[in-house]
Amino acid sequence: MYRAEKEAEDKEQREDSKGSKGREQGKDREQGKDREQREDKGQREDSTGSKDREQSKGREQGKSGSIAQGPAGGRVRKGLRCQICVGCGLCPGAAPGYRPAGAGGPGTVTVLTDSVFTGEMPGGLTGKVRLVTADVGTTTVAMLLYGAEGAAEDRYLAVNPQTAYGADVISRIRAAEDGAKAGDMRRQIREVLEQGLRRFQKRLSPGESMRLVLAANTTMTYLLMGWDTSELGRAPFRAARLSAVETELAGVPCFVFPGISAFVGGDITAGMYACGMGDREDITLLIDLGTNGEIVLGGREKRIACATAAGPAFEGGVNRGVWGADMVSRLAALRRAGLLDETGLLAEEYFEKGVLVGNVRVTQEAVRALQLAKGAAAAGIGTLLDRYGIGPEQVDRVVLAGGFGYYLRPEDGVQIGLLSAELAEKAVAGGNTALSGAWKAGRERIAGRGVTEELERLVNGTVVLNLAAEPDFEERYYRAMNL
């Protein structure tokens, strides 16, 4: 066995023996009945367990990317993570090299959209109306309740129960061909959102009310509203209902972000809005890779967007319980060690059983799954740059949105061909840009300033490419699958 791998495995086995009790406690938490109790207990364990993790921090250095130098040179441990990212910036550590200058000392992270959450809520309604934002994703749902000062005071996180009908939007669209299943999916997502609102209701003072601003991809919006999704699943894949929506959930007024196309939805509109892409002259590349992958390039003058097939690769579905950003780091480590060639083939001695990188066994199947997803994303980025008529060096900033972007080490993305070196140098963590955009829009609405026209201009000024119709996309995709 490769010597470094053997040493890592031996140390891992020793730590596994010492840490078995902690893992059993973690298992008990996962099996708890109340999701919020699990979350609270996980946060307490993350705090109380930091000393133990710090003692073992050297075991994966240079292998898995789990240990990194903090912004000020200190070593920080990435530690445990929330199952659902709300871009709160409370993670215990992050990789170096792409945080804005002055991000702070070890263990601190500055997220690009933190600048959105500034200032108190507008006067007039302060103390009477509480803002709630929601990000309804294909896999997860995240909701935040804000106070008068604009800070999040409570959160509600859940797995989207529609996953029972399929892991991706295409599966949901096909399931919705059955009217009963479509009705059930509508009921499921509305119940989740209403549960969150009921939780937040308990935190209101007498005389207070709530207003909800919701961002979701197009399929999730259709299912929420009870619209026929069949047009989303057949050529030419055009969505007739993309405008902003005013509705109610559990008696709470709800504003739903407008979408851009059948596969680039209101969550991306909210992300563009949060990043100021409709106002800034400089050129931003917004990359949001999750169960669905969406990419937008441009600024105030023009914007082009595309959607790519990602599947579960970027959200921990390749190796169960291992986040996509960590898999990227592990593949990068294998490439540097010479155990993985540029075609994605593991060294012969590891081809059948895989290779242990840190505490994760990377299999040939896992490598191939990530190759497919990253190849589609990289090809999408390249296509947008070509159609915009610029090179990567002309992009002013790269916003890596969501949990994947928060933890991705750009240098590892370069190593496996997800990002070019020029783009990696300009990359910043975006946090949950959908929730950030929802907060920004909600704040304006509470102040009595309409945002619908502004958002519609943002949408109408964004051209969506159908990558399958691009003449050179297939060839570009095959090339981009190389590591």
Of 27-41, 42-56, 422-436, the least confident: 42-56
Per-residue pLDDT tens digits for 306-325: 999 876 667 655 666 677 88
- Of the two residues 339 and 53, the one the predictor is more confident about is 339
The reported pLDDT for the residue numbered 430 is 86
> Residue 432 to residues 87, 144, 273, 480: CA-CA distances in angstroms?
5, 11, 12, 27
> Residue 175 to residues 141, 169, 172, 186, 230: CA-CA distances in angstroms?
20, 10, 5, 12, 10
- Of the two residues 54 and 91, the one the predictor is more confident about is 91
Of 46-55, 120-129, 214-223, 302-311, the least confident: 46-55
Q: Residue 6 — pLDDT band, cuts 50, 70, 90?
A: very low
Q: For residues 377 and 306, what is the distance between their CA atoms, to the nearest angstrom?
A: 10
The reported pLDDT for the residue numbered 248 is 97
- Of the two residues 402 and 278, the one the predictor is more confident about is 278
Q: Specify the pTM.
A: 0.78
Q: For residues 103 and 119, what is the distance between their CA atoms, to the nearest angstrom?
A: 20
200 has a pLDDT exceeding 60: yes
Per-residue pLDDT tens digits for 131-162: 999 999 988 899 999 988 778 899 999 999 99
Beta strands in 178-302 (DSSP E): 209-216, 245-249, 252-256, 284-289, 292-298
The phi and psi torsions of 252 (rounded to 5 degrees) equal -100, 125
> Residue 469 to residues 218, 220, 297, 310, 480: CA-CA distances in angstroms?
21, 25, 18, 18, 18
Environment class of 360 (CB within 10 Å of its CB; exposed 0-12, middle 13-18, buried 19+): buried
CA 230 from centre of chain = 26
The reported pLDDT for the residue numbered 91 is 45
DSSP 3-state assignment of 186?
A: helix
Q: Tell me which residue of 64, 81, 79, 80 sits closest to 140, measured CA to CA.
A: 81
* Whole-angstrom Cα Rg for the chain: 22
Say if CB 327 and CB 370 are below 8 A apart. yes
Say if CB 144 and CB 132 are below 8 A apart. yes
277 has a pLDDT exceeding 90: yes
In terms of C-beta distances under 8 Å and separation of at least 24 residues, what long-range contacts does 15-20 make, across chains too?
A: 15/56, 15/59, 16/359, 19/52
Q: Mention every residue, 6+ apart, whose C-beta is less than 8 A from residue 188.
A: 160, 161, 162, 164
Per-residue pLDDT tens digits for 204-247: 999 999 999 999 999 999 999 999 999 999 988 999 999 999 99
Beta strands in 179-240 (DSSP E): 209-216
Write down the residue that tokens 């990212």 correspond to: 85
**Token output for 184:** 């059930």
114 has a pLDDT exceeding 80: no
The reported pLDDT for the residue numbered 319 is 66
The reported pLDDT for the residue numbered 85 is 56
- For the chain, the average pLDDT equals 79
Q: Residue 82 — pLDDT band, cuts 50, 70, 90?
A: low
Average pLDDT over residues 428-445: 91
Of 23-27, 81-85, 296-300, 469-473, the least confident: 23-27
CA 415 from centre of chain = 21
DSSP 3-state assignment of 393?
A: helix
- Of the two residues 126 and 11, the one the predictor is more confident about is 126
Q: Residue 167 — pLDDT band, cuts 50, 70, 90?
A: confident
Per-residue pLDDT tens digits for 439-477: 999 999 998 888 999 999 999 999 999 998 999 999 999
The reported pLDDT for the residue numbered 420 is 96
The reported pLDDT for the residue numbered 97 is 33
Q: Residue 355 — pLDDT band, cuts 50, 70, 90?
A: very high
The reported pLDDT for the residue numbered 81 is 54
